[in-house]
């Protein structure tokens, strides 16, 4: 297992040979630092209770070995309670797989392409619910990226049957869902296309299916661009489609506010204004300069926050960054916040008066616990301080060279593939402390 100690972890996420300009990972599997299979297994009791405190500091120091990444993520994202037993988790997993199968079947009944191993990249319905039956539109293929609907061993009759079977839609929820399906398909064929994993049609359709089901059950958010970037790693790390769906669903519980749009605002705007406030406190000169250039709304940082640095890091490094962030932010109450309301209230009754153990919390969450004791404000996510640390790092370059917003974007684009996840996290932690001190004074 540890013969690859010190080696980069790219071999776990193979890049297509023709993609030569993909940034190399900086993440190295290091014995004694990276959470290994042995250390992970040793953190469980014979019944299956997990001492998560033991693993958090290891993840914060050196990430997770790629071979166990998926199962560790399920705990970090709150899919399972560390205090649960092996049997309890098995029951929960079984129940969730059945629930996902029911939702998927619901979607399949409305649109039979769901679960067929195919996906679509062309609209199948008009905004007023009329089915689109133009076979030329529906038979479009995506050369080199896997074929959309229908598969190669079928004739156009198959797709005609699918669309002819669609009546004029009257249900607004169904119309809205059907309108997103081709957009999901267009994003799916663009997501992590440099990876060998997505050369397989079945993996592309798995990503499409999960996003289609999610768009159906989360009517408030539905589907937005960027969600495919957040879902893709789950499919690569977890073999079972339902398990990947639930891991993605838990991540979306944290981030769905970013995607929720109203007529007057985009969800991520709140975080952008938080970022502006932080920069104003820790680097007033830079904030003033950005305001002068017309960038006081910090929209240039939109993508970093929206998809959690997926575009700024190599694939492997973005996973490393995510798990470090989640380990730093880990809160043992996470699972009870995410479980069924009835179960949650039962658990709350049983745990009244019990203070959560600081040892079971991530380092960032421990800092926030101190602040929460004195303030009623909800803590800011570490991702905002990560962006602030990137700006701080590029502060002198931005001050000297940025003469317009295009220059700001260009300077920030240059960081792609050149960021160190571990340094970025420690920089965010330092800025968080500095911000709390300065904000307290002002």
* Tens-place pLDDT, residues 11-58: 789 999 998 888 888 888 888 899 999 999 999 999 999 999 989 999
Helix ranges (DSSP H) in 165-225:
172-188, 201-217
Q: What is the CATH number of domain 87-259?
A: 1.10.8.270
Q: Which residues of the chain have pLDDT under 70?
A: 1-8, 133-170, 261-266, 337-356, 372-377, 442
User: Pick from 272, 172, 162: which is nearest to 222 by CA?
Assistant: 172
The predicted structure's pLDDT at residue 246? 97
Indicate the domain borders of the chain: 87-259, 269-441
- The helix/strand/coil state of 125 is strand
The predicted structure's pLDDT at residue 395? 94
The predicted structure's pLDDT at residue 356? 66
The predicted structure's pLDDT at residue 218? 94
The predicted structure's pLDDT at residue 379? 82
Cα–Cα distance for residue pair 74/78, rounded to 1 Å: 6
CB of 258 within 8 A of CB of 271? yes
- Total residues found in the chain within this entry: 442
The predicted structure's pLDDT at residue 261? 67
Cα–Cα distance for residue pair 160/150, rounded to 1 Å: 10
The predicted structure's pLDDT at residue 342? 42
pLDDT tens-digit series, residues 254-270: 998 888 766 555 678 88
Question: Would you say the C-alpha torsion 304, 308, 311, 316 has a positive or negative sign?
Answer: positive
User: Pick from 223, 145, 140: which is nearest to 191 by CA?
Assistant: 145
CB of 268 within 8 A of CB of 383? no
- The CA-based diameter of the chain, rounded to the nearest angstrom, is 71
Torsion of CA 148, 150, 152, 153, to 10 degrees: 160
Cα–Cα distance for residue pair 197/176, rounded to 1 Å: 30
Radius of gyration over every alpha carbon of the chain, rounded to an integer in angstroms = 23
Cα–Cα distance for residue pair 377/380, rounded to 1 Å: 9
Cα–Cα distance for residue pair 194/10, rounded to 1 Å: 12
Q: What is the CATH number of domain 269-441?
A: 1.10.472
User: Pick from 301, 271, 283, 273: which is nearest to 405 by CA?
Assistant: 301
CB of 5 within 8 A of CB of 65? no
The predicted structure's pLDDT at residue 347? 46
Residue whose token pair is 């803590």:
379
Asked whether the domain spanning 269-441 has the same topology as the one spanning 87-259, the reply is no
Q: What is the DSSP letter of 129?
A: S
């Amino acid at each position: 297992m540890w013969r690859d100690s010190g080696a980069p972890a790219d071999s776990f996420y193979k890049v297509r040979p023709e993609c030569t300009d993909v940034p190399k990972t900086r993440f190295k599997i290091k014995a004694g630092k990276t959470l290994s299979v042995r250390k992970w297994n040793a953190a469980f009791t014979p019944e299956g209770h997990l001492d998560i405190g033991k693993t958090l500091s290891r993840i914060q120091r050196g990430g997770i070995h790629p071979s166990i990444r998926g199962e560790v993520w399920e705990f970090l994202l709150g899919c399972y309670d560390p205090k649960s037993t092996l049997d309890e988790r098995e029951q929960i997993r079984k129940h969730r797989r059945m629930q996902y199968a029911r939702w998927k079947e619901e979607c399949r009944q409305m649109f039979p392409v769901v679960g067929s191993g195919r996906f679509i990249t062309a609209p199948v319905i008009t905004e007023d619910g009329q089915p689109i039956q133009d076979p030329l539109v529906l038979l479009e293929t995506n050369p080199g990226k896997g074929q959309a609907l229908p598969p190669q061993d079928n004739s156009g009759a198959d797709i005609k049957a699918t669309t002819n079977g669609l009546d004029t839609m009257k249900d607004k929820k169904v119309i809205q869902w059907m309108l997103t399906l081709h957009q999901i398909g267009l994003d799916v064929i663009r997501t992590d296309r440099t990876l060998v994993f997505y050369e397989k049609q079945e993996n592309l359709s798995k990503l499409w299916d999960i996003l289609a089901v999610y768009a159906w059950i989360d009517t408030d958010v539905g589907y937005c661009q960027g969600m495919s970037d957040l879902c893709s790693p789950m499919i690569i790390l977890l073999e079972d489609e339902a398990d990947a769906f639930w891991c993605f669903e838990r991540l979306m519980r944290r981030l769905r506010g970013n995607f929720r749009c109203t007529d007057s605002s985009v969800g991520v705007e709140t975080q952008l204004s938080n970022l502006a406030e932080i920069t104003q406190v820790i680097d007033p000169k830079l904030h003033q300069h950005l305001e002068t250039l017309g960038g006081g709304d910090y929209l240039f940082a939109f993508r970093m926050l929206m998809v959690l640095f997926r575009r700024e890091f190599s694939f492997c490094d973005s996973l490393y960054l995510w798990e470090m962030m989640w380990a730093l932010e880990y809160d043992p109450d996470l699972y009870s916040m995410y479980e069924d309301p009835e179960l949650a209230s039962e658990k709350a009754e049983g745990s009244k008066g019990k203070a959560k153990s600081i040892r079971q919390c991530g380092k960032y969450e421990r800092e926030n616990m101190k602040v929460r004791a004195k303030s009623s404000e909800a803590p800011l996510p570490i991702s905002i301080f990560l962006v602030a640390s990137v700006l701080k790092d590029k502060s002198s370059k931005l001050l000297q060279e940025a003469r317009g917003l295009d220059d700001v974007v260009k300077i920030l684009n240059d960081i792609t593939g050149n960021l160190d996840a571990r340094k970025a996290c420690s920089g965010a932690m330092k800025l968080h402390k500095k911000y709390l001190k300065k904000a307290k004074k002002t």
